[in-house]
């Protein structure tokens, strides 16, 4: 555990390499699960795609087109080979490669999720810190009530309520689409409500935990003023669990985007997937699931890098 320059960067490289390998493994696992879940669940996609009462010949033709007539392992192999080459199949409905299709709508989801995450952090971090500054105080109580209410609200319901009030009743904000900056307001609020509740609690809890650590007592014994203990000694430690939670919440944002996109007719992957489900466009469903899962893994890889940056234990390869 030498603390020389080369030893340090070596630690980071090793850490990142390990995380990268793990991410690859998880992506492979995701590919397997996606494939087998969609194949093994009772229900024949081909049969779902034809009108009820269609002849067996028609269904069989669809099976051939889907490739589901082949033995399972053969299908799996073809699927994996395609995946490595970036081939996720072809959409029935749009007659376009699934990858193209998904990538064309990805920026809209990314923009929505990104803005919502940013907005949530901007709201939750100061509020969580303010609550932790005086536990049991007025701010703390209000913040905690907001957090538990936020966590108990179905996000889609908040969305519809916002539309009902601001679009239908007042006519102030657009109810659908993503053409203008104003159209971000309602979807972002919808997606952020629950997220803010979770993040506030995390920030508050990790601040309080950091403040109860021994090193805070040491700092007080040194004569460090409370504000400095709070914003320097505790905050830097509290940022570490926050980063982890943000990483996990990326999954929540992506999942939540499905619902929000449906409500606001937001042309992103969620809307694409839901439409694909209702039109039985299975390659698209599979493609979206794969890509969202990969995005989530990659996002968590980035979070790990941020985590390593904040936490010298991890950065220098001493992680337990």
Residues 6+ apart with CB under 8 A from 115: 184, 188
**214 binds other proteins per the rule CB under 8 A:** yes
Q: Which is nearer to other proteins, 52 or 181 (CB)?
A: 52
d(CA 34, CA 286): 7
Q: Which is nearer to other proteins, 77 or 226 (CB)?
A: 226
Minimal distance in Å, beta carbon 73 to other proteins? 19
Per-residue binding letters, 108-127, with other proteins (x by CB under 8 A): --------------------
**44-73: which residues touch other proteins (CB under 8 A)?**
45, 47-48
Q: Which is nearer to other proteins, 121 or 131 (CB)?
A: 131
Q: Which is nearer to other proteins, 181 or 222 (CB)?
A: 222
**278 binds other proteins per the rule CB under 8 A:** yes
**128-157: which residues touch other proteins (CB under 8 A)?**
135-136, 140, 144, 147-149, 151-157
Other Cβ atoms closer than 10 A to 37: 11
Minimal distance in Å, beta carbon 182 to other proteins? 20
Q: What is the dihedral of CA 122, 127, 129, 130, to 10 degrees?
A: 140
* 97 strand-pairing partners: 90
Whether 211 contacts 230, CB under 8 Å:
yes
**9-38: which residues touch other proteins (CB under 8 A)?**
22, 25-27, 29-30, 32-34, 37-38
* Candidate list 98, 189, 219, 272; residue touching other proteins; CB under 8 A: 219
**302 binds other proteins per the rule CB under 8 A:** no
Minimal distance in Å, beta carbon 41 to other proteins? 5
**256 binds other proteins per the rule CB under 8 A:** yes
Helix axes 98-133, 185-211, angle to 10 degrees: 50
Helix axes 138-152, 185-211, angle to 10 degrees: 130
d(CA 19, CA 23): 6
SS3 content of the chain, % helix, strand, coil (to 5): 80, 0, 20
């Amino acid at each position: 555990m030498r603390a020389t320059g080369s030893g340090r960067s070596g630690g980071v490289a090793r850490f990142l390499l390990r995380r990268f390998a793990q991410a690859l493994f998880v992506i492979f696992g995701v590919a397997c699960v996606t494939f087998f879940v969609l194949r093994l669940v009772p229900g024949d996609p081909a049969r779902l795609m034809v009108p009820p009462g269609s002849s067996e010949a028609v269904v069989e033709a669809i099976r051939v087109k889907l490739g589901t007539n082949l033995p399972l392992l053969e299908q799996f192999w073809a699927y994996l080979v395609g995946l490595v080459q970036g081939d996720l199949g072809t959409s029935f409905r749009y007659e376009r490669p699934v990858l193209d299709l998904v990538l064309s709508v990805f920026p809209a989801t990314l923009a929505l999720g990104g803005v919502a995450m940013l907005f949530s952090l901007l709201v939750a971090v100061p509020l969580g810190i303010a609550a932790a500054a005086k536990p049991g105080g007025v701010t703390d109580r209000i913040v905690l009530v907001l957090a538990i209410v936020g966590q108990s609200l179905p996000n889609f319901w908040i969305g519809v309520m916002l539309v009902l009030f601001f679009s239908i009743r007042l006519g102030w904000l657009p109810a659908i689409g993503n053409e203008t900056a104003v159209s971000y307001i309602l979807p972002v609020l919808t997606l952020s409500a629950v997220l803010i509740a979770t993040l506030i609690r995390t920030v508050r809890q990790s601040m309080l935990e950091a403040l109860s650590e021994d090193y805070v007592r040491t700092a007080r014994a040194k004569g460090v003023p409370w504000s400095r203990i709070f914003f320097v000694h505790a905050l830097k430690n509290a940022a570490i669990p926050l980063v982890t939670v943000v990483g996990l919440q990326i999954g929540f944002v992506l999942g939540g985007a499905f619902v929000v996109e449906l409500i606001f007719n937001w042309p992103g992957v969620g809307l694409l997937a839901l439409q694909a489900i209702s039109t039985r466009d299975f390659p698209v469903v599979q493609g979206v699931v794969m890509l969202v899962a990969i995005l989530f893994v990659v996002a968590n890889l980035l979070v790990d890098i941020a985590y390593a940056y904040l936490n010298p234990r991890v950065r220098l390869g001493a992680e337990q």
